[in-house]
């Protein structure tokens, strides 16, 4: 404390002759700084200012790390559980589906298929319905084409209604007829609801003037029609920049009116209705038996018979919540069924094998890097500088060569008609008919990756060994130790921090490798990263890739923690 006082007062501007007062105050009461404030407060303020300055200095780095490292990792973690696409694409159908019995043997009826039609019609206009299909296809093959093929028939389903309506009264074919009939007061809330659903589906705000406000009375009398027309209006005005009143409505609006007329209450209500379009509506209500009588379920099943499959509906129902553990379950060879979590069929189990193989092979690679790297590092550290520098260049040269080139070079060396086999056959060590299989298997991966990762082991080892004074060894020997004892009891313990640092580097790098295993690994030398790459770039199942990546991240962190507990992270040195 006294030191600090000195420092602070020294830094401030001590007023001559003021020392006595300060000393007096220090004895009874808080110590005051030169400006009369309590010293503690001044000190704290100074320290805070220092901290802020330090923070400002590292701010660019901090922002960089957060933006390019933390945020992507978090978004990856989030993607591995995110599943809102099903709900956003067919919100009303998903809601209606909640009443359906998953354990039952009957597919849901029109209470689900009617909202499903309008949800999916809307989604197909926005080209979103196939994305939901693709999501569900990850869980059950066939759903993707079910959504796609039925998507092509939505227009026809609506047209079947449209044709009859226009025959009953040509007014149904006019854009302004629909606009006048459905416009009105009190439907603002409905409009905003529909807009919010659109925004969730497309990921855009969908804000702007629609130029149409639904009438609350019509929403009461013709609920499906008003909703479908409002959807049409929002899409037309905001996404297509057309005037709603001038555009003919979607086929779905006709189907919606058809659906409304199936309810007896609506027919009664229309009889007492006298607003715009009353004549046409009454005519339609009277002739409603001319309209298509098939239920929406029948229409869907006619388009693709799989809509009748209970299994398909179970999958839709299981994967409709906005958050799912499905991807994580998949990545440990489990699956979610109506009876709870079950193991995947044995023919489809792959990820646990791959995780295990990745760990085991990374350990083997780390081990062989230690075995090969240790003597080299020892040489580097103990040879005369000139020779050591040449050797160092030999170590670094492959480090500067492209990874692909090095891996391809290994291909040339290792293949059955390759350099190594040719030499062995020529020397007579290996029979021509039984050439060694050195690549397209785990051996190839271990050989090529050991070579590629070797510099990451040698460099930390070298920098640690460089700091071990050679006199220690000599001292040990002069005290009677054999070469081995001197090395094992004196030299080796001091080089352990280098082994630790090298091992962590090599192990963590090799866990994430995928190019080298892909090229020389064949079938039993590929790692989990190869599957992650496959799901990112080929199958586009980013959720599963994210889950696999998250698991890999967690495993690495867990290993790091174990390492810290066993060896101690303070024992790792990257240099002097």
Partner 1 sequence: MKLTTTLLTSTALTVAAGVAAHAQDMANDMTLVSWGGAYQASQQKAYAEPYMENNPEVSIVWDESSNEAVAKLRAMNEAGNITWDLVDVVASDAMRLCDEGLAMEIDHDEALAAAPDGTKASDDFGDLIVSDCFIPQIVYSTTFGYRTDMVPEGAEAPNDICDVWDTETYPGKRSLEKRPINNMEWALLCDGVAKDKVYDVLATDEGQQRALDKLDEIKDDVIWWSAGADTPQLLADGEVFMGSTYNGRLFSAIVEQDQPIAMMWDAQVFDLDGWIVPAGLPKDRLARVMDFLNFATDTQRLADQAKYISYGPARESSAPLVGKHADLGIDMAPHMPTDPNNAKNTFLYNYEFWADYRDDIDAKFQAWLAQ
Query: Segment near partner 1 (CB under 8 A), from 236-244, 284-292, 531-539, 567-575?
Result: 531-539
- Tell whether residue 349 is a contact of partner 1 (CB under 8 A): yes
- Tell whether residue 523 is a contact of partner 1 (CB under 8 A): yes
**Which stretch of DSSP H or E encloses residue 342?**
strand 340-343
Q: Tell me the closest approach of the beta carbon of residue 113 to partner 1, in angstroms.
A: 22
Q: Tell me the closest approach of the beta carbon of residue 299 to partner 1, in angstroms.
A: 21
Question: Which is nearer to partner 1, 21 or 353 (by Cβ)?
Answer: 353
Question: Which is nearer to partner 1, 2 or 537 (by Cβ)?
Answer: 537
- Tell whether residue 138 is a contact of partner 1 (CB under 8 A): yes
Which residues between 540 and 559 bind partner 1 (CB under 8 A)? 540-541
Residue 188 CA to residue 196 CA, distance in Å, equals 12
Query: Segment near partner 1 (CB under 8 A), from 281-289, 307-315, 348-356, 375-383?
Result: 348-356
Q: What is the CA radius of gyration of the chain?
A: 37
Question: Which is nearer to partner 1, 58 or 73 (by Cβ)?
Answer: 73
45 vs 49, 54, 126, 127, CA distance in Å? 6, 14, 57, 59
> Nearest 5°: phi and psi at 215?
-90, 135
Q: Which of 68, 103, 207, 538 binds partner 1 (CB under 8 A)?
A: 538
Is residue 359 a contact partner of residue 367, using CB atoms and an 8 Å limit? no
- Tell whether residue 339 is a contact of partner 1 (CB under 8 A): no
Q: Tell me the closest approach of the beta carbon of residue 516 to partner 1, in angstroms.
A: 13
Residue length of the chain: 576
- Look-up of token digits 């109506």: 338
- Tell whether residue 431 is a contact of partner 1 (CB under 8 A): no
Which residues between 386 and 425 bind partner 1 (CB under 8 A)? 415-418
Q: Tell me the closest approach of the beta carbon of residue 46 to partner 1, in angstroms.
A: 44
Query: Segment near partner 1 (CB under 8 A), from 261-269, 271-279, 352-360, 476-484?
Result: 352-360
- Tell whether residue 135 is a contact of partner 1 (CB under 8 A): no
DSSP 398-461: HHHS-HHHHHHHHHHHHSTTSHHHHHHHHHTSS-GGG----SSSHHHHHHHHHHHHHHHHHHHH
15 vs 22, 24, 32, 36, 540, CA distance in Å? 11, 15, 13, 11, 74
- Tell whether residue 241 is a contact of partner 1 (CB under 8 A): no
3-state helix, strand, coil in the chain (%, to 5): 70, 5, 25
Query: Segment near partner 1 (CB under 8 A), from 20-28, 390-398, 474-482, 528-536?
Result: 528-536
Residue 40 CA to residue 45 CA, distance in Å, equals 9
Return the structure tokens found at 35.
């400006």
- Tell whether residue 125 is a contact of partner 1 (CB under 8 A): no
- Tell whether residue 335 is a contact of partner 1 (CB under 8 A): no
Neighbours of 371 (CB within 10 A): 11
Return the structure tokens found at 176.
């302004």
Please choose, from the candidates 331, 306, 277, the residue with its C-alpha nearest in 3D space to the C-alpha of residue 141.
Answer: 306
Query: Segment near partner 1 (CB under 8 A), from 281-289, 379-387, 390-398, 518-526?
Result: 518-526
Longest Cα separation, the chain: 116
- Tell whether residue 148 is a contact of partner 1 (CB under 8 A): yes
The contact set with partner 1 (CB under 8 A) reads 126-128, 130-131, 133-134, 137-138, 141-145, 148, 347-350, 353-354, 357, 415-418, 440, 518, 522-524, 526, 531, 534, 536-541
């Amino acid at each position: 404390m006294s030191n600090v006082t000195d420092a602070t007062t020294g830094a401030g501007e001590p007023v001559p002759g003021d020392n006595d007062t300060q000393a007096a105050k220090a004895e009874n009461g808080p110590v005051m700084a030169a400006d009369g404030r309590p010293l503690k407060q001044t000190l704290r303020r100074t320290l805070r200012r220092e901290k802020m300055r330090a923070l400002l200095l590292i701010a660019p780095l901090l922002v960089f790390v957060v933006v390019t490292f933390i945020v992507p990792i978090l978004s990856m973690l989030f993607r591995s559980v995110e599943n809102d696409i099903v709900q956003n694409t067919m919100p009303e159908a998903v809601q209606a589906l909640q009443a359906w019995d998953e354990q039952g043997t009957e597919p849901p009826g029109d209470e689900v298929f009617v909202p499903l039609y309008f949800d999916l019609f809307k989604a197909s206009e926005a080209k979103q319905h196939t994305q939901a299909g693709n999501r569900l296809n990850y869980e059950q093959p066939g759903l993707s084409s079910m959504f796609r093929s039925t998507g092509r028939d939505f227009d026809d389903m609506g047209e079947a209604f449209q044709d009859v309506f226009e025959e009953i009264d040509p007014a149904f074919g006019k854009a302004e007829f629909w606009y006048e009939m459905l416009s009105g007061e009190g439907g603002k809330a409905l409009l905003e609801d529909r807009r919010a659903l659109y925004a969730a589906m497309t990921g855009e705000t969908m804000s702007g003037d629609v130029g149409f406000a639904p009438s609350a009375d019509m929403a009461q009398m013709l609920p499906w029609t008003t909703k479908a027309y409002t959807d049409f209006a929002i899409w037309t005005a905001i996404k297509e920049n057309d005037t709603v009143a001038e555009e003919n409505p979607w086929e779905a609006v006709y189907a919606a009116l058809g659906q409304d007329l199936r309810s007896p209450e609506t027919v009664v209500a229309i009889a007492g209705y006298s607003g715009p379009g009353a004549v046409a509506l009454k005519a339609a209500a009277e002739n409603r038996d001319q309209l298509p009588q098939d239920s929406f379920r029948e229409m869907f099943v006619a388009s693709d018979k799989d809509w009748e499959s209970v299994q398909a509906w179970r999958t839709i129902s299981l994967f409709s919540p906005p958050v799912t553990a499905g991807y994580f379950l998949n990545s440990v060879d489990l699956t979610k069924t109506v009876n709870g979590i079950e193991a995947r069929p044995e023919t489809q189990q792959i990820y646990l094998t791959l995780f295990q193989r990745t760990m085991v092979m990374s350990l083997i690679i780390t081990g062989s890097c230690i075995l090969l790297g240790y003597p080299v590092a020892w040489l580097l550290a103990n040879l005369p500088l000139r020779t050591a520098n040449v050797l160092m260049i030999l170590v670094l040269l492959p480090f500067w060569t492209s990874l692909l080139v090095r891996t391809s070079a290994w291909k040339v060396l290792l293949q059955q008609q390759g350099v190594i086999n040719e030499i062995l056959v020529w020397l007579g060590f290996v029979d021509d008919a039984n050439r060694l299989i050195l690549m397209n298997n785990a051996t190839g991966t271990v050989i090529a990756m050991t070579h590629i990762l070797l510099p990451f082991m040698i460099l930390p080892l070298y920098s640690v060994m460089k700091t071990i004074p050679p006199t220690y060894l000599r001292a040990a020997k002069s005290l009677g130790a054999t070469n081995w004892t001197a090395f094992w009891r004196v030299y080796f313990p001091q080089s352990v921090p280098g082994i630790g640092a090298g091992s962590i580097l090599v192990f963590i790098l090799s866990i994430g490798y995928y190019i080298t295993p892909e090229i020389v690994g064949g079938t039993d030398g590929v790692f989990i990263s190869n599957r992650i790459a496959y799901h990112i770039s080929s199958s586009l199942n980013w959720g599963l890739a994210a889950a696999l990546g998250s698991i890999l991240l967690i495993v690495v962190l867990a290993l790091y923690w174990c390492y810290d507990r066993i060896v101690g992270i303070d024992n790792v040195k990257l240099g002097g």
